[in-house]
Amino acid sequence: MLDKIIQREFGIEPVEIKELDGYDNKNYKVSTADAVYIFKTYQFSREQLDLIKAENDLLMYLKAVGQNGIPEPISFTDNSYERVVTVKNNMLIIRMLSFLKGNFIGEATFTTELAASLGRFLAELDSKLINYTNYVLKSRQHDWDLQYALRNREYLSAIENTNNRSVVEYFFLQFEEIVVPALPSLRKSIIHNDANEWNLLTEDNKISGIIDFGDVAYTPLINELAIAITYACYNKESSTEFALSLLKAYHDISPLQEQEINILYYLIAARLCVSVCNSARAKQVNPENTYVTISEQYAWKFLHHLLTINPIGFENKVRAELGFEVNKPEPFDLLMATRLKHLSAIISVSYEHPLYVKKAAFQYMYDAYGNTILDAYNNIPHVGHSHPKVVRAGQRQLAKLNTNTRYIYNSLGRYAEKLLAKFPESLNKVFFVNSGSEASDLAIRIARKHTGFSKLMVVEHGYHGHTQAGIDISDYKFNNPKGQGQKSFISKAPIPDTYRGKFKNDDGTAGAAYAKNAVQQLAKSDEPIAAFIAEPIIGCGGQVPLAKGYLPPLYQAIRQQGGVCISDEVQTGFGRLGDVFWGFETQEVIPDLVIIGKPMGNGHPMGAVITTTEIAASFETGVEFFSSFGGNPVSCEIGLTVLDIIEEQHLQANAKDVGDYYKSLFLELKERFDCIGDVRGSGLFLGVEIVKSGTQEPDAALAKYIKNELRNRHILISTDGPHDSVLKTKPPLIFTKENAKTVVDTVEAVLRVDNKKATLN
Ligand code: PMP
């Protein structure tokens, strides 16, 4: 059948016809006795026919200006180059092209020389194309043209893995923020637009040809390189090296502009995003088509890898390679001096070498010098730094309405409902504020109003906030040598610590013993306690989990004498502990008031007090409660989005899965190093106690050394605890097992290589 058509239309005698893999259309390799051709078929449409005519025109132009290594249109017997035929009632456009010899670079060993050859080849091709014009091509708009990358947002929902989807959304958002504003001022040209590894041919370690002009576009010229770099690098180890080699070779022939280099990182990411969106979409439409999914795994891998390549660092490397001036950040010393001039020195800066940051994405922070820092410390960006959904939620609502709770708007009730659904039924009233400190302050006020008492019971080493009430209830602050001391209305219970404390058996006996002591203390109090407040894992105390069984008897005793119980979930809430959504669940108690903050808005300042109808009713008999910003529409939208993301991306389960693994790695390390006294916590909220080898004596100096060495090796953790000897790690919940391994391996490397004090078993 096909051989008849070919014979009739072209006047050639095929001896073999072989079908080729194709994205959309059917293509055939046609061999005659003395030549080889590519026979292409397309579903007929007016638009497709115009495009094929334009493509043939372009190929003929290139041939006329002496471009080598491109397919040549073969004429039909009547000297035309494309034709519409009807096969089995189906209208097809058919055409023939010459066949190019060579191996696909997808099959060849990629080298820096080949990358340079590709750069030269594209520079020559593009410098010819820049003088070519064709109004069909100029008016074309399609999903694979990077200037329209955002059209592919339509396919986002086809990406099943929600973590992967969030990465694509992140890069689309960056595209919108960084690339879109630059588009109008970029040089445009008709370009090949698909220099991928199955469209490029190589002979003798050089690029010998390029095929498939089907995606040709009139678009910013730099897109040609973004696409070529994507495919030259996405399955390679030395990706940046190849990119630099390709760019340099191109630039030497056809100089690039600075503004093109500024956005290149985001264009590469955009190409990968377009690719994975289309693969997801194609899989949805046709699950059988494996051709489209071949490159998908590489694309995903490279997209995740791009997050670890600092965009600032990448741009600087390209600048240096091409001879442009490298961007210099404002000098650190100047920034520090300005800060110190205007801010009090009491506001501390972390690390011996403070971090000068410019940008962040998920679990990575990017410093001003182009380094990528793995964030194993910050729990405020709970769902990840700059999570695109959170950013969009805030942007959208800010552009629409921001006001306060004295007016009626939908999101307040919606958010309250969604948030309260996460709590036991009895906890059904919420007061929105702007920080954890405000929340603890308000909780104390509510508790005092409800009970009519003023005395408060706190736990040793606890921290609840920086307001006066917050400091009053925070042993971590008032008991500091420079602190205000313990107020007369405070009763302090010893920390129920099974590592360092008096009772060590964490099978419930220690918890019961600690609780008994606290209850005895309660009985001795000169007046009833209004409220007892505790964190489920005492963060500033060095990530100390309350001993098992501690809270139930204590809560009971507090209530019996007329007080209420407050759980401070500012650090432990929102699924971080893995097994539970709220820390109090680990103790099998239901508090009367809960305070939340930090992760609630993923960095947007939010806090809340959650309580019972009865307690809220007592508070209602007092003066009006009003917070200018608490519960505003922007905060509500952001808060709702954070809850959605935790669900969609299964972040509590990830905290459990990765957290268990992370902890097991530290426990293994403890077996090997005497200086690790204890590993504790749960989910992605862990503490590693550093001690003088083989003792329980805290080793703050070593802990500090490890923290700073990790920082110097681009990993963030912190130290805390009464002796500042506990390594604290509480990363964003999208942290991976690979990230966990990186942290623990680096701690091991620090202990092994650098630290003379650490004893290796
Ligand atoms: N409670 C706990 C347990 C905290 O860790 C913190 C902050 N570190 C707060 C309350 C106070 O929160 P904020 O800093 O948002 O005021």
Chain segment 326-366, per-residue pLDDT in tens:
999 999 999 999 999 999 999 999 999 999 999 999 999 99
- Most ligand 1 atoms within 8 A of CB, residue of 437, 569, 685 to mutate: 437
**Which CATH fold would you assign to the domain 424-626?**
Aspartate Aminotransferase; domain 2 (3.40.640)
Whole-angstrom Cα distance, residue 184 to residue 48?
Answer: 28
By mean pLDDT, which of 10-14, 138-142, 273-277, 723-727 is the weakest? Answer: 10-14
Q: Which atom of ligand 1 is nearest to the CA of 597?
A: 15
d(CA 258, CA 324): 8
What residues pair up with 97 in beta bridges, in sequence order? 38, 73
Residue 761 has pLDDT above 80, yes or no: no
User: For 2-98, which CATH class?
Assistant: alpha beta
- Residue closest by Cα to atom 12 of ligand 1: 436
Q: How confident is the model at residue 694 (pLDDT cuts 50, 70, 90)?
A: confident
With a cut of 50, say whether residue 759 has pLDDT above it.
no
In this predicted structure, the answer to whether residue 620 has a pLDDT above a threshold of 90 is yes
Mean pLDDT over residues 701-729, rounded? 98
Please report which confidence band the pLDDT of residue 24 belongs to, taking 50, 70 and 90 as the band edges.
Answer: low
Distance, in Å, from the CA atom of 362 to the CA atom of 607, rounded to the nearest integer, reads 22
Q: Could you tell which of 570, 582, 635 is best to mutate to test the pocket of ligand 1, judged by most ligand atoms within 8 Å of the CB?
A: 570
Distance 438 CA to ligand 1 centre (A): 9
Instruction: Give the CATH fold of the 336-383+651-753 domain.
Output: Aspartate Aminotransferase, domain 1 (3.90.1150)
- Give the helix ranges, DSSP H, for 103-151: 112-129, 135-138
CA of 567 to the centre of ligand 1 (A): 12
Q: How wide is the angle at C-alpha 236 spanned by C-alphas 258 and 189, nearest 5°?
A: 35
* Ligand 1 pocket: which of 598, 629, 685, 718 to mutate (most atoms within 8 A of CB): 598
Q: Which pLDDT tens digit goes with each residue over 445-498?
A: 999 999 999 999 999 999 999 999 999 999 999 999 999 999 999 999 999 999
**Residue among 574, 571, 381 at smallest CA distance from 476:** 571
Pairing state of beta strands 529-534 and 455-459?
parallel
Give the number of residues written for the chain: 761
CATH 3.90.1200.10 occupies which residues in the chain?
A: 103-322
Q: Rounded mean pLDDT of the chain?
A: 95
Residues in contact with 247: Cβ distance below 8 Å, sequence separation at least 6, in sequence order? 119, 225, 229, 256, 318, 321, 322
The residue nearest atom 16 of ligand 1, judged by CA position, is: 437
The string of DSSP letters for 468-524 reads HHHHHT-HHHHTSTTS----TTEEEEPP--TTTSS---TTTHHHHHHHHHHHHHHHH
Query: What CATH code is assigned to 103-322?
Result: 3.90.1200.10
Q: What's the token pair of residue 251?
A: 């630039």
Residues 181, 170: Cα–Cα separation, whole Å: 17
- The answer on pLDDT for 755 being more than 60 is no
Atom 1 of ligand 1, residue of closest alpha carbon: 464
* Contact present, 697 and 703 (Cβ < 8 Å): no
User: Is residue 93 within 8 Å of residue 52, measured between CB atoms?
Assistant: yes
Q: Is 464 in the pocket of ligand 1 (CB under 6 A)?
A: yes
How many CB atoms lie under 10 A from the CB of residue 223? Answer: 26
Tell which atom from ligand 1 comes closest to the C-alpha of 465: 11
pLDDT for 212-255, tens place per residue? 999 999 999 999 999 999 999 887 777 889 999 999 999 999 99
Q: Evaluate: CB of 436 within 6 angstroms of ligand 1.
A: yes
How are beta strands 90-98 and 200-203 bridged, if at all?
unpaired
pLDDT at residue number 480 = 93
pLDDT band at 288 (very low <50, low <70, confident <90, very high): confident
Region 314-336: what's the mean pLDDT? 96
Which residue spans of the chain are classified as CATH 3.90.1150.10? 336-383+651-753
Strand-pair partners of 720? 726
Residue to substitute in 571, 582, 718 for testing ligand 1 pocket (most ligand atoms within 8 angstroms of CB) = 571
- Cα–ligand 1 centroid distance for 463 (angstroms): 7
At a CB cut-off of 8 Å and minimum separation 6, what does 93 contact?
41, 42, 43, 44, 48, 49, 52, 82, 83, 84
How far apart CA 700 and CA 706 sit, in angstroms, is 10
User: For the chain, where do the domains classified as CATH 3.30.200.20 start and end?
Assistant: 2-98
CA of 502 to the centre of ligand 1 (A): 27
